[in-house]
Structure 1
Amino acid sequence: MGLAFRLKTLTVAVAALSIANFANAAGLDRSGQDITAFLQDGLYTEAVYTYINGDVTGKDASGNDIDDIAEPYDFFRYGVKADINDTFSVGILYDEPFGAAADYSGQNNFITNSDADAIVKNFTGNPNLTADLVDQNIQGLQGALTPGNPGGLSPEQLQQAQTQLIGLQAAQNLANRAGEATQVEVRTESITGILGAKFGANKEFQVYGGPVAQQVRADVKLRGSAYSTATGYTTNISADQDYGWLAGISYSKPEIALKAALTYRSEIEHEAKAFESYPLASAASAGALSSNRGDTINITTPESVNFDFQTGINPTTLATAKVRWVPWSDFAIVPSLYNEVSTINPAYRPEGLPLVSYDDDQWMVELGLAKRLAPALAVSGNIGWDSGAGNPVTSLGPIEGYYSAGLGAKYNVTENWAVSAGGKYLWFGDAKGKTPTQNIVSDFESNDGYVLGVKVSYQAQ
């Protein structure tokens, strides 16, 4: 009885140490979709803030330096769980499961030339053209192409004027993006409702499940010569909410502080509104395609499987393990205009190219130890490995997984309230960046980052 009580106390003491256990570099994974708040005993609630900062630098295909592209990224996680009786439990979880934040800077192939006149001259091959002259010529050609042909141009002259107008408009669109950088931002939010039912002689087993509401939005800018004819491309994907589900099973043995849980989350299919701007679309298609398009886009966020495990080693020490699998090889973002322009090249027919995709599935493993130093104080340490989602990988997130080491501590302010803090250092895997056309356009080596987290929790048993 004394051993069981001490192990239970230890479990309570370290339950909230998992502050920064997930900050995954594979695909768009961020929060790790943790559900351990629901697995706590009694009434439990938590609020978690996580901050991620990476140093991701490299070189482009021309050997130019690429300054740090990793934008600092933060997100929140909340959880509430309550027992209806000794059999049924309910919970609500909020997190921000997937995301990305990258911003290129410096003088490299991912930045548009800051000189609009130079862009015009390079694109048209006319050393005498300037951005102002392009604007004037466009106005003149639009006047000449007024319906009814008031200038009396021959069919050949009309065709010539139309072709010239398309080329000048492409040059104008590129010049309007002078000095801009490649950027990406993806944000998601998720709310999960869970109902659990315990069974077994000692209520040691629990099955649980429930609905998931998820919102996703994204903005992507491709700039610079690295993207060839796709330079200047922009897509804004408006926020869309759709639904999926979660299901799992857990087992507990309180006398040795053992808990194990296997959780599956379904994929979620989104149909969002997207606005695309592709400056060279009209020129590349000889006027068949517009350079701007508003359309729907289908994005399916991936399914996942999480395994969470803990067990007491002695009355003051707890061992933990986490494993996560996400099939990023099934994920793709395929805006319709970008995809259609790609089919102009016979090599990419009939499917065309996605804007973002990954080659491999993600595996993440983390092992930890927690130690109670005093009745109100516990510390923990962990090491981890993330496989990444392939190499080469999209130039919008050129990292191949990571190795990690982390530390955390929790202090029980009162019998029920506690504050936890944790940190993790990440050694990112070297990766080569590629464009959707599979061209290797960058090389990123010897990069790292860190994660910091703070949690406030309340538990009443």
Structure 2
Amino acid sequence: MKRVMTSMAALAIGAGAAHAGGVERSTQSVGILFEQGNYAEFSVGGFNPDVSGTYPLNNSNSGDMAPGYGTVSLGYKQQLNDQWDLAVIFDQPVGAKVNYPAGATGNPLADYPIAGSKASIKSSAVTALVRYKMPNNVSVYGGLRSESVQGHVTLPALGYSMSTSDETDFGYVVGAAWEKPEIAARVALTYNSKIEHEFSVTENGSPSAPFSTTVPESVNLEFQTGIAKDTLVMGSVRWVHWKQFDITPLGYQMATSGDSLVDYANNTITYNIGLGRRFTDQWSGAIMFGYEKHQGGTVGNLGPTDGYKSVSFAASYQATDNIKITGGLRYVDIGDAKTTLPPGVQTDFSGNDGWGAGLRVGVSF
């Protein structure tokens, strides 16, 4: 039960990737450290958002500017002895895929002002963790994360384009957990450090000044406990310091009198809570609810969302003694947002949502 729920809760929360902060793709869970014995897993996910807004001056619609995307993650956990565990995790912590459809009328005065704009952020990370089990069901863990990030943007309305180098830099992870196995209880608190990247940049086809971006620090609180026979309550609280995340190339800053391509005025706290239930020796299920507060104010045109509510369903099938297959489906009600376009006009992004799905295969040995 405990082993099944660890995987199922993580997939239910992350099915189709998170939408926190607009660019988050991984919840950076350390749940794999608590799998029993030796364990490996492979996960794939996809998310298909539908995000569009209107520009009041000409009543034009942006069209769906948020294409669907996929994610992949891998994990391996080795029990070294009764006290020490080792885990290696590959994931994609941040990402973005923006594509405003090209103007439909051919008349710039009638089309959405930034029609044809495109942007992307790609990342990958490898995290190595060790866990030490102390007396009284307490354990401590930590490790290093290697993270690679690159980005591209094209803004036809400004006659602007930018491409960065692919940069790899390092951060760290530290945490502690308490467990009570007889009731399947566990509380784990994890700190993920910020990682600073300095990019070489090409703007409008020519080399430009390097700039730095910080993938922000975060704190995860993950918990579960049995509340009845074969039934668990489980969830997480995740804080991310999104004010640290800023993309401001020099050429763009000069062309826009000091604006940033991407920045965030607020940090985020994301909540997830749900129930898991084992129905038979082979089948278990879970339902999870997610919430991230609507902050208000205006947001950037490359990330026109503000908070969300979600519901996720997951099912796990113990195919053999050592193989389990977990699937998840997630619906996200994407929070309404307002952006600003010239000449200082507010656009309205509302009524947006998205569907996500994920599949994980875990092998114990």
Q: TM-score, normalised by structure 1?
A: 0.73
Take 2:69 and 2:292, find their aligned partners in 1: how far apart are those partners? Answer: 19
Q: Which residue of 2 aligns with 1:403?
A: 309
Task: Report the Cα offset of residue 401 of structure 1.
Answer: 1.4
Task: Report the Cα offset of residue 58 of structure 1.
Answer: 1.7
Take 1:14 and 1:180, find their aligned partners in 2: how far apart are those partners? Answer: 45
Take 2:294 and 2:167, find their aligned partners in 1: how far apart are those partners? Answer: 27
- In the TM superposition, 1:38-437 aligns within 5 A as 38-62=33-57, 63-105=59-101, 107=103, 114=106, 181-201=116-136, 204-224=137-157, 231-277=158-204, 292-343=206-257, 352-387=258-293, 391-434=297-340
Does the Cα contact within 8 Å between 1:190 and 1:214 map onto a contact in 2? Answer: yes
Q: Which residue of 2 aligns with 1:15?
A: 6
Name the one with the larger strand percent: 2
Task: Report the Cα offset of residue 292 of structure 1.
Answer: 4.0
Look up the equivalent residue of 1:449 and give its one-letter code. Answer: G
Look up the equivalent residue of 2:119 and give its one-letter code. Answer: V
Q: Which residue of 2 aligns with 1:136?
A: none
Q: Which residue of 2 aligns with 1:161?
A: none
Q: Single out whichever of 30-39 and 184-193 deviates more from structure 2.
A: 30-39
Take 2:128 and 2:119, find their aligned partners in 1: how far apart are those partners? Answer: 30
Give the number of equivalent residue pairs.
356
Take 1:440 and 1:91, find their aligned partners in 2: how far apart are those partners? Answer: 50
Partner of residue 31 from structure 2, selected from 26, 36, 57 = 36
Take 1:28 and 1:207, find their aligned partners in 2: how far apart are those partners? Answer: 29
- Secondary structure of 1:26's counterpart equals helix
Q: TM-score, normalised by structure 2?
A: 0.92
Task: Report the Cα offset of residue 239 of structure 1.
Answer: 0.9
- Secondary structure of 1:241's counterpart equals strand
Take 1:255 and 1:440, find their aligned partners in 2: how far apart are those partners? Answer: 59
Q: 1:206 to 1:439 in 2, by over 3 A?
A: farther
Q: 1:439 to 1:90 in 2, by over 3 A?
A: farther
Q: 1:372 to 1:211 in 2, by over 3 A?
A: same
Name the one with the larger helix percent: 1
Deviations 1:403-448 (A, max 9, x none): 001111000110010111000101111101236x994442111111
Take 1:425 and 1:52, find their aligned partners in 2: how far apart are those partners? Answer: 9
1:450 aligns with 2:355: yes
Take 2:145 and 2:190, find their aligned partners in 1: how far apart are those partners? Answer: 13
Does the Cα contact within 8 Å between 1:26 and 1:389 map onto a contact in 2? Answer: no
Q: 1:240 to 1:379 in 2, by over 3 A?
A: same
Does the Cα contact within 8 Å between 2:208 and 2:250 map onto a contact in 1? Answer: no
Task: Report the Cα offset of residue 232 of structure 1.
Answer: 1.7
Take 1:217 and 1:389, find their aligned partners in 2: how far apart are those partners? Answer: 28
Take 2:296 and 2:76, find their aligned partners in 1: how far apart are those partners? Answer: 36
Take 1:181 and 1:106, find their aligned partners in 2: how far apart are those partners? Answer: 4
Task: Provide the identity percentage.
Answer: 31
- Secondary structure of 1:15's counterpart equals helix
Q: 1:438 to 1:408 in 2, by over 3 A?
A: farther
Take 2:343 and 2:223, find their aligned partners in 1: how far apart are those partners? Answer: 40
Does the Cα contact within 8 Å between 2:100 and 2:115 map onto a contact in 1? Answer: no
Give 5+ residue unaligned stretches, structure 2: none
Task: Report the Cα offset of residue 238 of structure 1.
Answer: 1.8
Q: 1:238 to 1:366 in 2, by over 3 A?
A: same
Take 1:301 and 1:93, find their aligned partners in 2: how far apart are those partners? Answer: 18
Take 2:186 and 2:89, find their aligned partners in 1: how far apart are those partners? Answer: 19
Q: Of the two, which has the highest radius of gyration?
A: 1
Aligned-residue CA RMSD (Å): 2.1
Q: 1:259 to 1:271 in 2, by over 3 A?
A: same
Look up the equivalent residue of 2:131 and give its one-letter code. Answer: G
Q: Which residue of 2 aligns with 1:158?
A: none
Task: Report the Cα offset of residue 260 of structure 1.
Answer: 0.9
